[in-house]
Amino acid sequence: MKIYLDMCSIQRPLDSKTQPRIAVEAEAILAALALCEAGQVELMSSDTLLFELARNPHPVRKEYALKVLAKAVVFVPTDDDVVERTRTFQAEGMRPLDALHLASAVIANADYFCTCDDRFLKRAKAVNTGQTKVVSPLELVTEVTQ
């Protein structure tokens, strides 16, 4: 089973856990990453994740995300298929970087695409993503631990 975590999902464990939702989502992401380390789930990385990471000005967050992405066993380059699918998703109202993340996951046949961004989650669930199921961190951990 292949999962693609967008950058806000990868970073969720570093967010302030003063809100219950954030604390629970952080634990869900850590549980998914533990499954990756155990070889039960395959983590995906992409040119898009590396691009977004390079723009991160926070050294601790950057280092953490690099360690997470180092666990990835599948890498998705940005090719013509990804670019074309990105345009389709942008036409559905997604922001360019969000559309690029989702397109990378869909083109690489991810089983799950996870985001913490409510606006993006709603839009991504409304479009055709083929076999790739768009989920929140809580939905992801529920799905992959069944």
Q: What is the DSSP string of 74-121?
A: EEE---HHHHHHHHHHHHTT--HHHHHHHHHHHHTT-SEEE---HHHH
Q: What pLDDT, on a 0 to 100 scale, did the predictor assign at position 102?
A: 98
Cα atoms found within 13 Å of the Cα of residue 56, Cβ hemisphere only: 20
pLDDT digits (tens, 9 = 90+) for 22-75: 999 999 999 999 999 999 999 999 999 999 999 999 999 999 999 999 999 999
pTM: 0.96
Looking up tokens 């998705």 gives 76
Phi and psi at 24, nearest 5°, equal: -70, -40
Number of domains comprising the chain: 1
CATH classification of the domain holding 31 = 3.40.50.1010
Domain that holds residue 112: 2-144
pLDDT digits (tens, 9 = 90+) for 75-108: 999 999 999 999 999 999 999 999 999 999 999 9
